[in-house]
Amino acid sequence: MNLDMVSPAMRAVAERLESEYSYKAVQFQPWLAKSKEDIFLQSTFHRILKEKAGATHIGENVFISTEANVFTHAFYIDDDSWIAAGVIIRGNVEIGKNSSINSFSHIAGNVKIGNGVRIAGAVAIYGFNHGHERTDIPIYQQRHTSAGIVIGDGAWIGTNAVIVDGVKIGSHSIVAGGAVVTKDVGDFQIVGGNPAKVLRDRLASGNEPAAIGA
């Protein structure tokens, strides 16, 4: 195409599209190198989270996408961790060092995530539950309960996994993609299925399945 034939207005649109693409590339892939503009936006967003989302600590070299939805009562995230675009975080959430949460995951309720944890895309972690013991009134009128969820250091949670309230995920364990975890997972265990069951022990087998879920 002869660029001389393009109107100034269309050139402005093209420049905006290129700028938006570069911006979104970092928001959805926080491991990419950051521009000065990205770093400036981070400092602003961190301040907003401290003022409005109950963030008590945002560590060094933390990246929280400005396209993430962080609407917490209390929030803590330690050094070198990142949260990608499209993530939803609500409730009281703590994230340790060098942990990552990929796009479109939803974390709600009372949730504590350890160090070096990898959470893939579209994971659901719900550290609360609807009360449902009574049958004489609707569920929505009953009190919420919250035992909380703990995810140990070095765990890997695969794509589309669901973790329900009251569950503890052991350190260095793996939750396969699509698993629905309703019971505690021990250290170094690999679980999968619905409901999730132990597939193998990482220490015992020495081999891990090839496809867990990114």
Catalytically active residues are: 130
Place of tokens 């309703």: 182
187 to each of 32, 69, 81, 114, 178, how far by Cα in Å? 31, 31, 22, 13, 20
Distance of CA 30 to the CA centre of its chain: 12
β-pair type (63-64, 144-145): unpaired
Alpha helices (H) in the chain, listed in sequence order = 8-28, 36-52, 202-205
DSSP code of 185?
B
Q: Of 85, 96, 87, give the one whose Cα is nearest residue 155.
A: 96
